[in-house]
Structures are given as structure tokens and as C-alpha cells.
């Protein structure tokens, strides 16, 4: 993703998380931003799937009349 395609955000991370983040980024030869971006993308994708499954389960357990 090009720099002009996004915006900068600020987050507070505990020192332990930042240490792990930096170690992981170094091991993968990637930037902190790249690792955080990928982690957020994965989280959002998994949460979307979880919500869709939950909604489907709810609809299956409580069908609407006439369906």
C-alpha cells in the first residue's frame, strides 16, 4: 500500500507488546507498521466472519414465521 493511500494513527502499547512487535517485525524483516496493518486486517476479517456465523446461527435457531 502506498503511503498516500492511508493515514497515520497513534496507539498506546504496553512495553511488553512493543518489544514482541519489534522482535517479530525484525525477524520477518518488515516494519512495525506492516506487522500492525496485517494484524488489524486479520482481526477485522476474523471478526466479520465470526459475526456472520453468529448471525447465521441465530437465524437458524430462531426461524422467522413463513420461511
Q: Tell me, yes or no, whether 53 lies in a domain.
A: yes
Each residue's pLDDT expressed in tens, for the chain with a length of 67 residues: 455 789 999 999 999 999 999 999 999 999 999 999 999 999 999 999 999 998 888 778 877 776 5
Which has the closest alpha carbon to 9: 42, 32, 43? 32
What is residue 29's predicted lDDT score, i.e. its pLDDT?
Answer: 98
Q: Tell me, yes or no, whether 9 lies in a domain.
A: no
Q: Tell me, yes or no, whether 52 lies in a domain.
A: yes
Q: Tell me, yes or no, whether 48 lies in a domain.
A: yes
Q: Where are the alpha helices (DSSP H) in 1-67?
A: 15-28, 32-61
| Residue 35 domain boundaries | 14-60
Q: Tell me, yes or no, whether 1 lies in a domain.
A: no
How many domains are contained in the chain?
1
Q: Tell me, yes or no, whether 24 lies in a domain.
A: yes
The C-alpha atoms of residue 54 and residue 51 are separated, in whole angstroms, by 5
Q: Tell me, yes or no, whether 7 lies in a domain.
A: no
The cell numbers describing 27, all together, are 525477524
Amino acid at each position: 500500500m502506498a503511503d498516500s493511500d492511508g493515514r497515520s494513527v497513534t496507539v498506546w502499547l504496553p512495553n511488553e507488546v512493543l518489544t514482541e512487535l519489534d522482535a517479530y517485525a525484525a525477524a520477518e524483516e518488515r516494519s512495525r507498521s506492516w506487522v500492525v496493518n496485517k494484524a488489524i486486517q486479520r482481526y477485522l476479517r476474523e471478526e466479520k466472519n465470526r459475526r456472520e456465523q453468529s448471525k447465521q446461527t441465530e437465524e437458524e435457531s430462531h426461524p422467522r414465521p413463513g420461511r
